[in-house]
Amino acid sequence: MKISKTSVMKDILNRISISLRLVLRDKGTVIVFLLSVLSFFLVCNSLNQAATKQSKIPIGLINLDVTSEHGVETPTDSSRSLVENLHTVESFLVIEKDMDTLERMLQKREIHCFYVINKGYEEKLKDGDLTHLITTYQVRGDQSVSVLSDIFAGEMMYQICVERTASRYAAILKDKNLEAKEDFYQYAKELRENNEFEFKFDITLSDTTNGQEMFEKIDNSLIYRQVIAGLFAILLSFVILFSYTYVCMEREQGIEKRVQISMVSRWSKDLGTIGSVLILSLTLSVVFISCVCYYTKLPQAFGRLLLLSLAFALMISLLFLFLTKIVRSFIAYQLFGAIMVLVLGASGFLSFLGVVLKADFLNVFKFTPNGWFIEKFVDIIINI
């Protein structure tokens, strides 16, 4: 008996429709699934925020160099510029609070130290006086503060150099009206805002296989987002495990034998089942990838990450479909399926651990579905 391609495609689409209705026919199941999606969004959002914070060093900051007009305190131009520059430093998480709050945070080790921009900061800069510009508060014996202070001072160097150079320039021209100094300030501003003169350091990644070089901006939060990717892989595996439970239920209730009588081919039935599972997985994938793209500021990575997520979901679907073929009991399927999810999750963690610890013997776990997913997730983020 010859079967047309149209009838095969129709069988697959019918199976997808039936599978989705079987999974979602119960209102309780629908509510649980929607709540799971919502909960996952909140958890993923919180984890991404935490990843951004944990990848930076928390420091406190107080700006006392302000001017008061009509009872309103306004930061001076130089101090405001310094604060803005500090907020752009990728290594710092700048927390602006009052003195008492920052002292309590320092005692609890919630911040490494805090800096106070002293009154008269701008005036001293213009006069060439570099004493008592900044006051540092730290825990006694904390050696890391000296490194943090060097980074902090680096943001001051531009202002110091501009003021010193402007003063020398005005002195050479013997300009007493300070017009030359103002002209120099304007020239320095234009030079800094010109992209052709934007000085910065690039991280060079050398590919030893083909000799090419890539210049990429790597964010420290990527390490933490690998953990989030691993958690997503585990959660998605559990959702797929749950989605295949009805296949075992069909077998126990005798529905599978009735389907065989209907002349629907076995592989059409399996493809329809996989299709329905991928549709359910798509919802979680979109939530996860949207959060990642938003916090990494890489919306262009959405498509590639979505394809990666669907490819991972397809691999896990095939594993659980195979499990339904060899396990007949519904309870046995749930038991072995849960063990499989835990083993895959552990393999992903060991793969991540191998990268962090540079342990080559753990690289074998990159060939597991979860390890492969985490590795490709990182590749897309840093190479997009």
d(CA 127, CA 335): 75
Determine the pLDDT at residue 222. 66
Calculate helix-pair angle for 330-357, 221-243, nearest 10 degrees. 170
Total length of the chain: 384
pLDDT value at residue 29:
63
* Residue 112 near residue 59, CB atoms below 8 Å: yes
pLDDT value at position 215? 39
Which of 65, 60, 87, 68 lies closest to 132, judged by CA? 65
Mapped onto helix, strand or coil, the DSSP state of residue 213 is: strand
DSSP letter at 205 equals E
Give the whole-angstrom CA distance, residue 72 versus residue 205: 50
Taking every pair of Cα atoms in the chain, the longest distance, rounded to a whole number of angstroms, is 103
Compute CA distances 36 → 30, 33, 40, 317, 373, whole Å.
Answer: 10, 5, 6, 19, 22
Q: Give the pLDDT score at 198.
A: 53
Residue 380 phi, psi dihedral angles, 5° rounding: -70, -40
AA identity, residue 181 = K
pTM of structure? 0.60
**How many CB atoms are located within 10 Å of the residue 32 CB?**
12
pLDDT tens by residue, the chain, 384 residues? 444 545 667 767 776 776 677 666 667 667 767 777 787 777 777 776 666 666 678 899 999 998 887 778 889 888 888 898 888 887 888 999 999 999 999 988 888 899 999 999 888 888 878 888 899 998 887 888 888 888 888 888 877 887 778 777 777 777 666 677 777 777 766 666 666 555 555 545 445 555 444 434 445 566 667 877 888 888 888 888 877 776 676 665 555 555 555 555 666 777 877 888 888 888 888 888 888 888 777 889 899 999 999 999 999 999 998 888 888 777 888 889 889 999 998 998 888 888 777 777 888 888 899 999 988 988 888 776
